[in-house]
Amino acid sequence: MSQTAISPTRAENYPEWYQQVIASAYMAEMSPVRGCMVIKPWGYAIWENIQQELDKRLKATGHVNAYFPLLLPLSMVEKEAKHIEGFAKECAIVTHSGLEDDGKGGLKLTGKLEEPLIIRPTSEAIIGTMYAKWVQSYRDLPILINQWANVMRWEMRTRLFLRTSEFLWQEGHTAHVSNTEAIQETLKILDLYAEFAENILAMPVVKGEKTATERFPGAVNTYCIEAMMQDKKALQAGTSHFLGQNFSTAYNIQFLNPEGQLEKAWTTSWGVSTRLIGGLIMTHSDDDGLVLPPAVAPYHIVMLPIYRNDEEKKLVLEYCHHLQNLLDKILFNNQTVRVHLDDRDLRGGDKNWQWIKKGVPIRVEVGPRDIAKDSVAVSIRTKPPKEKAFINTQEFIHNINNLLDNIQAEIYQRAKNYKDKNTVEINTQEDFKAFFSTEDSGGFVSCWAIDDPEIESYIKPLKVSARCIPLDQDQNAEGKCIFTGQKNQKRIIFAKAY
């Protein structure tokens, strides 16, 4: 890894900069399987921290984990035609069960299946089928189940983390006795996702409801969190769906109520994926490489020993191990501070740049002169690469929590300032068109607009989509749709998006 910044820069070529950040941090790469990625240890460690923090929150709200099959019989999926129609072009299908020698040095398919099996693009079909078996009485409800899994959607244009044919995610599926309870669940998860995005990923988001055109196939209402990337495009960072009784009807999920009458359950589904890592990169990283909020960084601190000979090496490494043992006893975000001692036989400059590009929040250099002064040289990832502060060792240990908290807060505030600065209100169709007319234009545009497919003809030529109807807006306000002139009481956020 070279001792240089990322090339190209964000300003020169944002899409290529994104790929180079991933490559230089050794996070992931495309595999020989079309559209599928290999997540390397550094990238997967970030995903594990996301899993751990999110799983903790889901369990605290009463949800439990389970696992459901990867393969779905076609007849099962067909029961909810509107739902599968939304994924039909992305479905990967298993049609055979074996291989045999073709006599020409190759292999041929054998064992054609009586019924094709779909590799899950999402799991409503299999989970709905199982819930129908498990639910008999109102006493069996609610069911609050989440699964951590992989899914497959056959993408034509792929990009690491943001859009791959196979990706990792969590998907929650719940069933309830009433529509009120199911709607409360849907909004509870939306709030949970927003809190997680902002407090753990340091990613400011807008909570809102999807328009009818953007709604999840088969849902009554879809709610989402939308984040702004540094190229001013929107990224859908999580969704929560109120499914009404659509899937209960399709999969016969019904129960006897206290009066002995048969009713259909009310269901929800919701999920976030490894796309969050792509959002993390594009929200925070800079022209030197990856920038990680401490809450999800695989290492909070990397120690870089500096020495010139074996005698100094022994002295410095002993000091570093002692310092590491002291830091290991400190809790940050209810977990042990994650410290790594990099004692590889590499030049100090090379090691330093590797950890800069991997986004580690704090780098600590320790050499004989530092030990003599009982101090350490501290570099913060959000500061210029060559900037160092020489801090007394005990003071550094004592203040490490505050330092990590400040880095987390600084990263969040910087992203929030950027989102706020690039969110504008527009009140005429002419201004809307002018705003989005150039290739590099972007940002969140809030304007009066009706929730109707009719407006698609105005926005599609500009490569713009309706991101959400924000939940946080004045319920008594009223305006006129900038596209149709119709009176309405909601503003919609529009943006170019991933």
On whether residue 95 sits in a domain, the answer given is: no
On whether residue 28 sits in a domain, the answer given is: yes
* Tens-digit pLDDT profile for residues 162-194: 999 999 999 999 999 999 999 999 999 999 999
Q: Specify the pLDDT at position 25.
A: 98
* Tens-digit pLDDT profile for residues 234-243: 999 999 999 9
Q: Specify the pLDDT at position 388.
A: 96
Q: Specify the pLDDT at position 85.
A: 78
Structural domain for 440, as ranges: 423-495
Secondary structure of 219-244 in HEC code, one letter for each residue: CCEEEEEEEECCCCCEEEEEEEEEEE
On whether residue 416 sits in a domain, the answer given is: no
Residue 399 sits in the same domain as residue 428: no
Cβ atoms 306, 38 nearer than 8 A: no
Residue 180 sits in the same domain as residue 325: no
* Tens-digit pLDDT profile for residues 62-79: 999 999 999 999 999 988
Residues in the chain: 498
Residue 59 sits in the same domain as residue 162: yes
Distance of CA 415 to the CA centre of its chain: 16
How many domains are contained in the chain?
Answer: 3
* Tens-digit pLDDT profile for residues 384-394: 999 999 999 99
Which of these three, 284, 311, 335, is where a domain ends? 284
* Tens-digit pLDDT profile for residues 444-463: 999 999 999 999 999 999 99
Residue 264 sits in the same domain as residue 126: yes
Alpha-carbon Rg for the chain in angstroms: 26
On whether residue 102 sits in a domain, the answer given is: no
Which of these three, 353, 372, 406, is where a domain ends? 406
Q: Could you give the 3-state DSSP secondary structure of residue 13?
A: coil
Name the pLDDT band for 418 (thresholds 50, 70, 90): very high
CATH number at residue 479: 3.30.110.30
Cβ atoms 168, 47 nearer than 8 A: yes
Tokens of 467: 């991101």
On whether residue 458 sits in a domain, the answer given is: yes
On whether residue 180 sits in a domain, the answer given is: yes
Residue 40 sits in the same domain as residue 136: yes
Beta bridge partners of 335: 332
Which of these three, 228, 258, 284, is where a domain ends? 284
Say if residue 384 is preceded by a cis peptide, omega within 30 of 0.
no
Q: Specify the pLDDT at position 3.
A: 61
Residue 436 sits in the same domain as residue 325: no
Residue 130 sits in the same domain as residue 184: yes
Residue 377 sits in the same domain as residue 478: no
* Tens-digit pLDDT profile for residues 93-147: 999 999 999 999 999 999 999 999 999 999 999 999 999 999 999 999 999 999 9
More confident residue, 85 or 164: 164
At position 365, the amino acid (one-letter code) is E
Residue 126 sits in the same domain as residue 182: yes
CATH number at residue 373: 3.40.50.800
On whether residue 79 sits in a domain, the answer given is: no
Q: Where are the alpha helices (DSSP H) in 211-347?
A: 246-251, 275-284, 310-327
Residue 487 sits in the same domain as residue 338: no
Say if residue 142 is preceded by a cis peptide, omega within 30 of 0.
yes
Cβ atoms 222, 239 nearer than 8 A: yes
Residue 259 sits in the same domain as residue 308: no
Name the DSSP class of 149. E
On whether residue 112 sits in a domain, the answer given is: no
Residue 333 sits in the same domain as residue 437: no
Residues 6+ apart with CB under 8 A from 452: 212, 484
**pTM of the predicted model over 0.85:** yes
Name the pLDDT band for 262 (thresholds 50, 70, 90): very high
Name the pLDDT band for 439 (thresholds 50, 70, 90): confident
What are the two backbone dihedrals, phi and then psi, of residue 96, each rounded to the nearest 5 degrees? Answer: -130, 160
Name the pLDDT band for 1 (thresholds 50, 70, 90): very low
CATH number at residue 164: 3.30.930.10
Beta bridge partners of 208: 224, 470
Q: Specify the pLDDT at position 364.
A: 98
Sign of CA dihedral 24, 30, 36, 42: negative
Name the pLDDT band for 43 (thresholds 50, 70, 90): very high
Q: What's the chain's average pLDDT? A: 95
